[in-house]
Chains A and B, each alone.
Chain A
Amino acid sequence: MTAPATSRPVPAARARRLPGWATSMLVVLVGLVVLSITATLTGQLQLTSAGTAQAAVQLLLPILFAGLGGLWAERAGVINLGLEGMMILGTWGAAWAGYQWGPWAALAAGAVFGALGGLLHAVATVTFGVNHIVSGVAITLLGAGVTKYLSTLLFLPVSANPRQSPPLRGFDSFSITPLTDVLDALVRANLVFVTDVAGILQGLLTGLTPTVLLGALAVPVTYLLLWRTAFGLRLRSCGENPVAAESLGVSVYTYKYIAVIVSGGLAGLGGAALVLNPGQLGYLEGQTGGRGYIGLAAMIFGNWRPGGLLAGSALFGYVDALQLRAGGDAVHALLYAGTILAVLVAVLWFAQRYWLAAVWALVAGLVVYLVYFFVDTIPSQFAAFAPQIVTLLVLAVASQRLRPPAADGLEYRRGEGD
């Protein structure tokens, strides 16, 4: 193919592209710098405090697990809108097993209950070819119903409340002490940027539980399994082109079943992570609060990749934590960070000669800054759905660059390929 003479010259940056890991490191670094500048200039120290980071980890875990669940299913070509329902099943299972046999049983039972929901979704969508979204909505309705019934039956006699489980024993949390002590010293040293980074790192390394470690492991394990093994290649081929996979001897049904059951199990683990949250141990009706859907949004935010998904859930968890710990003023300061980010993006795009996009980024930055300037604080009710607004914006701006699996959500029947 010959490019027309009028086409834009290929930017130099495109020629020597950074490897993926370096790009992600760069993004994290830029994010930290922006947060640090914002915290310094607006005086909102909670933005980079250890407490915020620690709370963010606990809040991102359920979203991360749900998002990974969505990733597994969609990579095999099954849209899983039932994540929310499977998560609800997971919370109940985790609480039921947890109050009797301890936190490890809670994790296992949460995964098993979620996987049962996943099995149901697989039977409906893979075997019977029911529309994936319809089946997902139905499973969410069913999951909520089943847990309410079971709670009345089994929790009411022991907790005297049909909407709540008896209290359970959580994991003992631990910190990586020598490191956190050093970081604590750095925080107290009160140096620009160093203090901010140290604060966040300290939060990430304090109050750890096995659930957190499991979440931290699940991301690389998912990546290795799905992108670096023959099993993963076959599973993803079912999501890209099931007919081609079939012609190569892959049992598409089996792989889809595995993927959707694992997906449900991960969503159930997300539910267990909610139940085992040290701040609020136990099952409470309605405690998932749409986190299954947010997990799905985080996955789309991350362009159907584990790393991006981690970034998406970190963003959601962080905003949530900030809003809970420091309220509307801190979220208000985030608008300032948004302005800096928009300007940075605009500069980057100018350098790459995307003129129009750069101008739009500048305009967006200006609008955000004006909001920041004229509004004193964000009402807590608005701050609560900041993650959803961010998702909508990302979808509106970047939807053309997102690349879902090619056969995502399409019906496939064995032996009917053309």
Chain B
Amino acid sequence: MSRLQTTLLPPLLAVLFAALLCSIALLISGDNPGAALAVMVTQLGAGTTAVDVINTGAVYYIAGLAVAVGFKMKLFNIGVEGQFRIAACVAAIVGGLLPLPPVLHVIVILLTGMLVGMLWALVPALLRAYRGVSEVISTIMLNAVATGVIAWLISPAAFGFVQGNNISTPPIAPTGHFPGIDLGPSGTIFGMVFVAALLGVGYWFLLGRTRFGFELTASGESPTAATAGGVEARRMVLIAMLMSGAVAGLIGLPEVLGREHAYTLVAPQGYGFTGIAIALLGRNHPAGIAVGALLWAFLDKSALALDNIGVPREIVLIMQGVIVLSVVVAYEIVRRYAMAAEQRRVAAELRAQQQPVAEGAAT
């Protein structure tokens, strides 16, 4: 199998498998899978759906990148969830309290988000590098801590801003709004979409085209080999985790800067876990993550359209879950198959080469 096949086949199979499984589920519950699929495709032309998919996709893309930076080094930053939420909250508070001139205001908010995300990732990074504590457990604990801290930050006792029934951080002045592209009735594309795209390019260049990226990937693949090659593993753990946290700090900002202009108590959650799924789907490749993010956002938006024709919208969640699980299984099967094929090929070539030598030795 060619490299292209081994890369593209598994996700395609996974999506098909998920669609098949969901169709069966729909048939059992007495719905029509064909109509569901038709509605999912046609929704893209209606209203603001296409723009919504792109906007949500950008959020998911940043989330996928944040997770992928860690994955590159075999670090499981389950804490992207907590990092992004606390970063968005603090960035919104800073943005709401500081009166600043137009461009600077946005930059300060973005930098605050990255800094807070980094600080929240610093704890597991230090624990992992100096105390050998698994980052999986420490980040899960910190996710819960973040929930509590945010609840406190937004409470009226701290920085909360009560407006009617809704509590949020103080609203950000218009100088701190990130301008988007107004497409009239089709909606407004977040300006942050372009920041997300830039991040993707930066990720591709840094990890794929620089010595630093090579060292990072190498210490993930084989810490001992990397250490022998003069890479300090501890430093790499710290850097990878902090980078992951900094990118995570940006996840919540497209919505804060482009639509809400504050961080509310009911702000969406779960982007961190979605990011894990998307990084897996895209195999940590910037282009793959982009496809995964758009697919995920498309499925998300389909929920509404499906609801309109009476299909339970939760079928989308099942589809997403099945896609993640089957894509990792599919990658593994293809990897094993490719490896076995490679071994057979090498063995055949070696046999062909050794034949004359063996005969020569016999005479």
Contact = CB atoms under 8 A, between A and B. Distances in A.
Interface of A: 81, 120, 124, 128-131, 133-135, 137-146, 148-149, 151-153, 290, 293-294, 296-297, 300, 379, 381-382, 384-385, 388-389, 391-392, 395-396, 399-400
A37 B316 CA distance: 55
A332 to B, nearest CB: 15
Contacts of B315: 149
A400 B25 contact: no
B148 A142 contact: no
13 contacts: A120-B325, A131-B328, A134-B276, A137-B276, A142-B321, A145-B320, A148-B314, A300-B137, A379-B155, A381-B152, A385-B145, A389-B141, A399-B133
Nearest to A147: B314
Contacts of B148: 381-382, 384-385
Given A152-B314, A396-B127, A142 B142 contact: no
A146 B155 contact: no
A84 B138 CA distance: 16
B232 interface: no
A293 B82 CA distance: 14
Given A382-B152, A388-B144, A399 B328 contact: no
Contact of B280 (A134, A146, A148): A134
B127 A395 contact: yes
Interface in B258-285: 273, 276-277, 280
Given A149-B317, A152-B313, 11 more contacts: A130-B329, A134-B328, A137-B78, A137-B276, A145-B317, A146-B317, A290-B140, A294-B144, A379-B152, A392-B145, A399-B131
Given A153-B29, A384-B148, A130 B332 contact: yes
B312 A152 contact: yes
Interface in B1-51: 25, 29
Contact of B144 (A153, A290, A396): A290
Contacts of B142: 388, 392
A138 B131 contact: no
Given A124-B329, A130-B329, A395-B131, A141 B321 contact: yes
3 closest residue pairs by CB, A with B? A145-B317, A142-B321, A149-B314
Interface string B151-176: 11001010000000000000000000
A296 B140 CA distance: 10
A381 B142 CA distance: 14
Nearest to A382: B148
Interface string B298-330: 000000000000001111111011101100110
Nearest to A81: B136
Nearest to B313: A152
B147 interface: yes
B137 A144 contact: no
B151 to A, nearest CB: 4
Contacts of B137: 296-297, 300, 391, 395
Contact of A399 (B132, B276, B325): B132
B325 A142 contact: yes
A293 B147 CA distance: 15
Nearest to B330: A128
Given A134-B328, A138-B328, A388-B145, A149 B25 contact: yes
A141 B277 contact: yes
B333 interface: yes
B76 interface: yes
B340 interface: no
B132 A400 contact: yes
Contacts of A130: 328-329, 332
B149 interface: yes
